[in-house]
Amino acid sequence: MNKKFKNIIFDCDSTLVKVEGLDEIARRKGLLKRVREITAAGMNGYLPFSQSLRKRLKIIQPTENDLVWLGWQYVQELVSDAAMVIEELKFRGLNVFILTGGLLPAVEVLGDYLEIKSKNVCAVSLKESDHFRASGPIGTNDLDTFKIKFVQQIQETGPTVLVGDGMTDFEAGKHADLFIGFGGVVFRPQLKKLCQFYIEEPRLQPVLDIVL
């Protein structure tokens, strides 16, 4: 049983998996060029997440079938050792969570594959064209703060680590006991400068070396 940390929270896109979900749907529909710049602006902290999401969804207009397809793309595009790392963390007694601005139906497919409890998955539930809600125990419509609120709630149960690749992850990570930046999929120099720990290799094994 690990005594150092109780909880570990992973971002999904460009952390557990090697793709950005909405970019993949946009690529499938021939819309990637229009969407990619908006994704980058949000991930680098130049555009609030809620604005980035609305702009991209307005262009892409994903269907339910698109989101199921994306879920299986997530599974196929897992970072090479992600499943092994998660299995080891659970074996060592840590609670594993996914916290992401990705859309819930797709993230649920990935969570099921990794055997992460549905209650431990917090993503964005799209109810109608411009109405969003973060899933999970926090249940909020404020998509610019939901990551922070989720981390705060989990951290109250014990020492918590957050692993992510973007600035919204970093801001939420301020409310964890430790933030680990992941640049194994997309290297972000501005994020590296802010991190005590920053992983540049395309695998998650170093997370085990840090937290166990």
Residues annotated as part of the active site: 11, 13
d(CA 179, CA 171): 9
- Residue 212: DSSP 8-state: -
- Residue 8: DSSP 8-state: E
Which structure tokens are listed for 98? 């996914």
**Residue (of 2, 14, 39, 49) closest to 181 by Cα position:** 14
SS3 assignment, position 115:
coil
**Residue (of 26, 81, 22, 18) closest to 49 by Cα position:** 22
d(CA 62, CA 31): 12
